[in-house]
Structure 1
Amino acid sequence: MCGITGFFNPSAQTSSEQMQVIVQAMSSTLVHRGPNDGGCWIDAEMGIALGHRRLAIVDLSPEGHQPMVSADDRYVIVFNGEIYNFLELRHELKQLGHRFRSHSDTEVMLASFSQWGLKAAIKRFNGMFAFALWDRQARVLHLGRDRLGEKPLYYGWINQTLLFASELKALKAYPHFQAQINRDALTLFLRFSYVPAPYSIYEDIYKLPPGCVLTWNGIEPYSQPISYWSVKETAHKGIAEPFIGSEQEAVAQLEALLQDAVKLRMVADVPLGAFLSGGIDSSTVVALMQAQSSQPVKTFSIGFNEDIYNEAQYAKEVARHLGTDHTELYVTPQEALAVIPKLPMLYDEPFSDSSGIPTFLVSELAKQYVTVSLSGDGGDELFAGYNRYFWGRSIWQKIGWMPPKLRKDAVGVLTHISPLVKNTAFAGFSNLVPAKFKPLLLGDTLHKLSEILAVANPEMMYTHLVSHWKQPEALVIGGSELSTALSDRQRWANLPDFTQRMMYLDTVTYLPDDILVKVDRASMGVSLEGRIPLLDHRVVEFAWRVPLSMKIRNGQGKWLLRQVLYKYIPQNLIERPKMGFNIPIDSWLRGTLRDWAETLLDETRLRQEGFLNPQPIRQKWKEHLLGDRDWQYYLWDVLMFQAWLENN
């Protein structure tokens, strides 16, 4: 696990000494990603400079140093991530005559490129990776990223120079970088709580999409990324060639795939452990780890004293049953709040998923004991775990038949009365309603339902469900919404079921741009490598072949994954309502964080900065403080942008 950066401009005529100073300054910003070693490689004649920071995981010797040159002297690489099947590839390459001086996966990558070429080699890799590969023979630079987007890679052209880096802070260290805020990307951020690929918060700087390679020779017009693997093609193939075996055979095949995915990700020359929340996904990963380990696996959990946010008790029970070496930390509000000032530098661009705070804290805890930690991310998208897959589908089945006029009339009725009046009215007889149905009767919920009634099709309803600010263009001064995977129908997968379409859209948007960003920055912020077995591309491809009936059953998701887990853990330790990895932002904004938030949301300040329209922000802030509405997600979006802006 590392940090990579560099630049390429064959017409720049910059001296080798100048290039070295620049690339070292860029790579030094990534020392948290690679505290063990650093290096650079420069060809001033060609205008190429590569920088690297190393977190040594496999082959801790100097032989794993990067940038690394291939044995045939053709390729030079800087690489961030892990190629989990490198031992298998190494054996195959040895049979073909290759010799290796190290035990690193980086050297295996280079030999693979030499043997099979870029396109064929990258399809053989099972791993998470972002790399820059300089081809000295063809005089081209290749930038590549793994299939699902586990590892980040930013790039852009400035004055005919191609820049790239694992994080934006390295690009900002380039002398001619222009930190011009992209108001259109800011508009998207306020809708989704993250800046979706391929955009970044800065003009002319992009994220390389997952499963893509970008190639540039420094002469021709700027290149576009080319896909070598896509979720869309995988989904289409899975539907066209479905799994036709029995349920027992499906369980056995998934278990075998997961066992191997976990086994490959347990290869390390440093201490290794796992995050454990006690939920389906992380418990499955830990169970398979422990089943294949001769020693107790080190597991880590974060707990909160507020029961509504606390899963640590469940994780402890799972750990006790499996016999892991478990460590838990109960976090005080003060410890969680202390993370907030670190978020702007940690993420480099606005990012407002508040679960990034506990993710950072559990990473910080794990780093005290291990250098690699496995996590259970990806299970919700692949095996239908999110609640919206059930009630989103149910709602559309109930309202989709309604003529537009009837729905419009219903919206008028529901919005005529304010949410506050509805909340007050329902409070009078809430004790007559069974507890599990009370949330359905809140005025806020009915108001949200009225918004859903107004949508024209299921995809628009999905977009509404995953949106925070529903009209962000009215909030950002001079901003408009750019095309995304949600708005561009050409990027949608042709899938027969609405739930499958939601799962697909989550896998190409929310997963890489929110979940994986959160895990990467939180873990690498403390120099911890995170590995995600459920995102092994073989598991992903199998999951799309499995019929929806083996994922959702009796109103519950992850049926197939649960069957694997029940072989290792009793059902009663797992079955409970789904909890998110959340913190009480709503109450903090009315209490401990109120003064901090008031400063950032000050109307005069907002007007002077000139990015956001103060009126809707101040209105929501007032309603939230009074307890009339819960606007925590909307306000947190604005606060994270304001905090980021203050630090940039």
Structure 2
Amino acid sequence: MPLCGIAGVVAAHSIDADRETEKVARMVRALKHRGPDDDGLSAHGRAVLGHTRLSIIDLSDAGHQPLANEDGTVHVVYNGEIYNFPTLRRALIEAGHHFSSNTDTEVLVHGYEQWGLDGLLERIDGMFAFALWDERQETLHLVRDRLGLKPLFFASRCGRLVFASEPKALIAYDEKAPPMRPEALLASLHHVAVPAPATMYEQYEALEPGTVLTWSAGDGAARVRRYWTWRRDPVIDDPAVAETKLWETLCASVERHLIADVPIGIFLSGGLDSSLVAAACAEIGRRVTCITIAIDDEQHDESGFARMVCERFGLEHRVLPMAADAGRAFEDGLADMFDEPFASSAALSAACIAQSAAQEFIVMLAGDGGDELFGGYKWYRQWIERYGRDGQRRPVAGAARAWARRLTGRRDDPADPLAGYARLLGALEPRLVARLFDPAWIDRCGTAIDPAAIYRDRDDLGATGFDRLQALDLQQFLPNVCLRKVDRTSMHFGLEVRVPWLDRSVVDVAASTSEQVRNPDGRLKGLVKRVARTRLPAPLLEKRKQGFSTPIRRWFPKERMLDEMRRTRDAGDWWRGVFANDAVSAAGALKGRPLWRIYMTWQWVRRHRGLTNTE
């Protein structure tokens, strides 16, 4: 099972193999942090493939990539984990295929031969991004897993397709970065990160979760189609049945995620999801080491809850102190990790714990995904309170609205329920956008001015309540923010993070359980708490949700951020044409995480001033 970086190029016209191989070699070097153990390159007619490997299962040279089938007509470079590969491997051997390694990578080439691409994708269970070159058909397939745990980017132009695990490798191929997209910059402010399929760079795109890109030498065109879509089929409406099913499924998922030939630990935040992963490890008899951050702020420190979990199950517990200096050390590094503005303050603590864990472990389990699958975010309830379960209720108007605003201290709610949802997740108000950005730059942003646009494209109009909002988050917030944070901060240090809650089997349980069982009477994570009540210490069920949060107001005080913005503004004209003259004053009306978003965007633009194309 290789967690790696992949890269490559295909062209409809003839290529200079030596020249293209050297360019792909540059891409691989740019991804070396994702796979420090090995790298490989191979040229096959119109295609050159590259790979850098983090060895986890079958540490021998047999796991070297690019990897081919028996007759050398199907080649693959692959980043990920296929958790059910032993079962698929046995089936393929029975069908007459010969394997040269014990890695899951070979399942891809032989499975493609045996079942075709669609048959392969129906069978594999895991997190993955891979490129498969069919030399006979002169066709390349790029594939990304169902929920977007592993990233994949590409550029298609003039009959040529270039692809890579991170944008920095595409930039290495081109030898310089393309101009930035104005609409992507604004979208990253609205949504913490640039939503796929867009990227911050013109010409570069992100392959969306659950999709396949197929490129053919016949016409040199890239075509994207969806092979998986989140669908609910609620057949479980008995809470006791759902509790048993979820717990047994989670334990089986954790057991599959513990398969490795290298040390494995758990990122234990002290919240329900990671604590149940630890409980599942104990249930199946695995005593893994848990790592927790102890933040120097009582409101954000959950290490005491994590300690309760470890004491209950007899698990080894490592506590890593994290003070302001540790968090600030990653302030500049986030831009390099993500290649784009990424304004989630949780990335600071994620990077800190990943760096520490990578000194001892190669693989860590994490608790991500439970909130999106089982309704754990407070904004679900807030949206329903304001717009009703069906989204048809409209906020109060006129004098009543003014009275309600004084009573609650809340901003006006947009009339559009999807705009209201975007606002709950931190989207900027239009009047603030107008004060922050140059008018000409705003004119170039198109539909990104409307933060609800990405939700309209993804909205399930047949769903209501939690079902509707969770479907939106599974398509936007989970892959573009949560999983992007996990992948980039961990792989930057050569660390693999596995997420048992997002195993296909657990996703199926969530999809088959009714909302009234998952979130009875609108209770956040009601089913998960039912599972936890007899398995975790009681205080964990009573505390408020935290996660690996960061005390951003104390570590990055408002005046510190504003002073830095003033200093860099006065140091040159780099900001003109993007930001408004009084942008710093406009930012001064904010504090905490909203100000952090603007500050990180400001700093990213400053470091990439040559890409603004404002002339």
Fold similarity call, TM over 0.5:
yes
Give the equivalent residue in structure 1 for 2:93: 94
Give the equivalent residue in structure 2 for 1:432: none
Residues 81 and 104, structure 2, Cα contact 8 Å, conserved in 1: yes
Pairing 1:75–2:42 present: no
Cα distance change of structure 1 residues 642 and 382 upon mapping to structure 2, 3 Å threshold: same
Pairing 1:209–2:201 present: no
Please report how far the alpha carbon of residue 144 of structure 1 lies from its aligned counterpart in structure 2 after TM superposition.
0.3
Q: Which moved more, 1:141-150 or 1:598-607?
A: 598-607
Please report how far the alpha carbon of residue 554 of structure 1 lies from its aligned counterpart in structure 2 after TM superposition.
5.7
Pairing 1:562–2:529 present: yes
**Residues in 1 aligned to 2:505 and 2:283: alpha-carbon distance in whole angstroms:** 21
Give the equivalent residue in structure 1 for 2:557: 589
Give the equivalent residue in structure 1 for 2:605: 645
Q: Name the SS of the counterpart of 1:256 in structure 2.
A: helix
Pairing 1:578–2:580 present: no
**Residues in 2 aligned to 1:110 and 1:350: alpha-carbon distance in whole angstroms:** 36
Residues 366 and 500, structure 2, Cα contact 8 Å, conserved in 1: yes
Q: Which moved more, 1:469-478 or 1:532-541?
A: 469-478
Aligned pairs for 1:127-146 within 5 A: 127-146=126-145
Aligned pairs for 1:228-239 within 5 A: 228-231=227-230, 234-235=231-232, 238=233
Give the equivalent residue in structure 1 for 2:32: 31
Task: Select which of 415, 418, 426 maps to 1:456.
Answer: 415
Give the equivalent residue in structure 2 for 1:431: none
Give the equivalent residue in structure 2 for 1:470: 429
Please report how far the alpha carbon of residue 208 of structure 1 lies from its aligned counterpart in structure 2 after TM superposition.
0.3
Give the equivalent residue in structure 1 for 2:249: 257
Give the equivalent residue in structure 1 for 2:124: 125
Residues 371 and 529, structure 1, Cα contact 8 Å, conserved in 2: yes
Give the equivalent residue in structure 1 for 2:586: 620
Cα distance change of structure 1 residues 401 and 206 upon mapping to structure 2, 3 Å threshold: closer
Residues 39 and 67, structure 1, Cα contact 8 Å, conserved in 2: yes
Give the equivalent residue in structure 2 for 1:243: 235
Cα distance change of structure 1 residues 359 and 172 upon mapping to structure 2, 3 Å threshold: same
Residues 164 and 170, structure 2, Cα contact 8 Å, conserved in 1: yes
**Residues in 1 aligned to 2:229 and 2:393: alpha-carbon distance in whole angstroms:** 36
Supply the AA of the counterpart residue of 2:242. A
**Residues in 2 aligned to 1:398 and 1:79: alpha-carbon distance in whole angstroms:** 42
Task: Select which of 475, 482, 494 maps to 1:515.
Answer: 482
Give the equivalent residue in structure 2 for 1:115: 114
**Residues in 2 aligned to 1:99 and 1:168: alpha-carbon distance in whole angstroms:** 36
Task: Select which of 304, 309, 320 maps to 1:313.
Answer: 304
Task: Select which of 305, 321, 343 maps to 1:352.
Answer: 343
| Ranges in structure 1 where 5+ consecutive residues have no aligned partner | 416-421, 423-440, 624-629
Number of aligned residues: 597
Pairing 1:273–2:265 present: yes
Give the equivalent residue in structure 2 for 1:418: none
Residues 11 and 220, structure 2, Cα contact 8 Å, conserved in 1: no
Q: Name the SS of the counterpart of 1:638 in structure 2.
A: helix
Residues 154 and 207, structure 2, Cα contact 8 Å, conserved in 1: yes
Q: CA RMSD in A?
A: 2.4
Please report how far the alpha carbon of residue 297 of structure 1 lies from its aligned counterpart in structure 2 after TM superposition.
0.7
Give the equivalent residue in structure 2 for 1:635: 595
Supply the AA of the counterpart residue of 2:567. T
Pairing 1:381–2:381 present: no
Q: Name the SS of the counterpart of 2:173 in structure 1.
A: coil
Q: Name the SS of the counterpart of 1:349 in structure 2.
A: coil
Please report how far the alpha carbon of residue 393 of structure 1 lies from its aligned counterpart in structure 2 after TM superposition.
1.2
Give the equivalent residue in structure 2 for 1:285: 277
| Displacement over 6 Å in runs of 4+ | 398-404
Supply the AA of the counterpart residue of 2:447. E
**Residues in 2 aligned to 1:143 and 1:83: alpha-carbon distance in whole angstroms:** 16
Please report how far the alpha carbon of residue 481 of structure 1 lies from its aligned counterpart in structure 2 after TM superposition.
2.7
Please report how far the alpha carbon of residue 122 of structure 1 lies from its aligned counterpart in structure 2 after TM superposition.
1.4
**Residues in 1 aligned to 2:457 and 2:560: alpha-carbon distance in whole angstroms:** 46
Give the equivalent residue in structure 2 for 1:153: 152
Q: TM-score, normalised by structure 1?
A: 0.87
Supply the AA of the counterpart residue of 1:162. L
Aligned pairs for 1:2-41 within 5 A: 2-14=4-16, 16-41=17-42
Please report how far the alpha carbon of residue 401 of structure 1 lies from its aligned counterpart in structure 2 after TM superposition.
8.2
Cα distance change of structure 1 residues 41 and 400 upon mapping to structure 2, 3 Å threshold: closer
Q: Report Cα offsets for 1:574-630 as digits up to 9, x if no partner.
A: 42111243222224233555543433455964643x222242x3233333xxxxxx4
Please report how far the alpha carbon of residue 385 of structure 1 lies from its aligned counterpart in structure 2 after TM superposition.
0.5
**Residues in 1 aligned to 2:12 and 2:495: alpha-carbon distance in whole angstroms:** 36
Q: Report Cα offsets for 1:135-189 as digits up to 9, x if no partner.
A: 0110011100000000000011244321110001100011365521011111211
| Ranges in structure 2 where 5+ consecutive residues have no aligned partner | 609-615
Supply the AA of the counterpart residue of 2:601. F
Q: Name the SS of the counterpart of 1:307 in structure 2.
A: coil
Supply the AA of the counterpart residue of 2:207. L
**Residues in 2 aligned to 1:614 and 1:71: alpha-carbon distance in whole angstroms:** 63
Supply the AA of the counterpart residue of 1:468. A
**Residues in 2 aligned to 1:5 and 1:398: alpha-carbon distance in whole angstroms:** 45
Residues 418 and 456, structure 2, Cα contact 8 Å, conserved in 1: no
Supply the AA of the counterpart residue of 2:131. A
Cα distance change of structure 1 residues 150 and 484 upon mapping to structure 2, 3 Å threshold: farther
Cα distance change of structure 1 residues 485 and 105 upon mapping to structure 2, 3 Å threshold: farther
**Residues in 2 aligned to 1:400 and 1:342: alpha-carbon distance in whole angstroms:** 41
Residues 620 and 635, structure 1, Cα contact 8 Å, conserved in 2: no
Supply the AA of the counterpart residue of 1:314. F
Kindly, what percent of the aligned residue pairs are identical?
A: 34
